Amino acid sequence: MSNEKSRFVVSADWVEKQLGAPEFRIVDASWYLPAQNRNGAAEYAEGHIPGAVFFDQDVIADHSSSLPHMVPAPDVFAAEVGKLGISDTDTIVVYDGPGIFTAPRVWWLFRTMGAKNVFVMDGGIDGWKKEGRPLETDLPEPAPATFHTNFNPYAVTSFEEMRGIVSTGSKQIADARGAGRFTGEEAEPRAGMRSGHMPGARSMPSGTFSEGGKFKDLASLRRHFEASGIDLSKPVVTSCGSGITAAIITLALHSLGHENNTLYDGSWTEWGGREDTPVVTGPAATGKD
């Protein structure tokens, strides 16, 4: 059983077999950083998994915040996904472009809003296309559905809570940004932002959880947390640049049965964009310090 995989991640084979099944919904959650020179909505229109709807992470968000793609109010989320034909009782599979990149954020959002049967597809649409699986260009016109929310406030950490966590060390902090951004050697992609990390944070770059767009097995994930100095018997808060790739760490935690975790939604865009927050540069301490 050493190569046991996450119960929240499904294969392209499985997804292809479910296409068209009742109460099976597939969601394209592709989103890119400017440096990637890709456009999720445009690629979706050019060809997507048959029946997939497009979830725009910048639209289904809290527009009262100056921060990007923050968690929307539950009623806003319910209205938007209802328009996409998704109900809270459906089986929902989320995919992105390269695989295990932006889909975990939408997986986490659906779960935070009360959906129970939510999965991430391994390999992304890039893998799907490479394997010659079916695509469609028609834009689906789903019948509206009702999504009953059961919002879990514990899943989301606010700035004030994060300030408390940093000052007291009450939760371990796992940071999904690249190592260079974590140490401060690399500039942040958003202008005017300080480089470095929160005091006490551990570096767990989001790209290290997958290989070739596929999520690593449970034993590899567990080793990764241990090597980063994260104790899986204690609470964890995940963070990244703007709250999207932090959910990759969240997916890994839940895959390993770790429930006592929360995501800092404002992430580095909020923390590093302020003048009144402590910032550390250089590598993280490792092990039990």
Which residues are marked as active site? 240
Query: Starting from the edge strand earliest in sequence, which strands make up the sheet with 201-203, in order?
Result: 156-157, 261-264, 236-239, 172-175, 201-203
Q: What's the angle, vertex CA 154, arms to CA 151 and CA 5, rounded to 5?
A: 90
Answer whether 231's CB lies under 8 Å from 223's CB.
Answer: no
Amino acid at 9: V
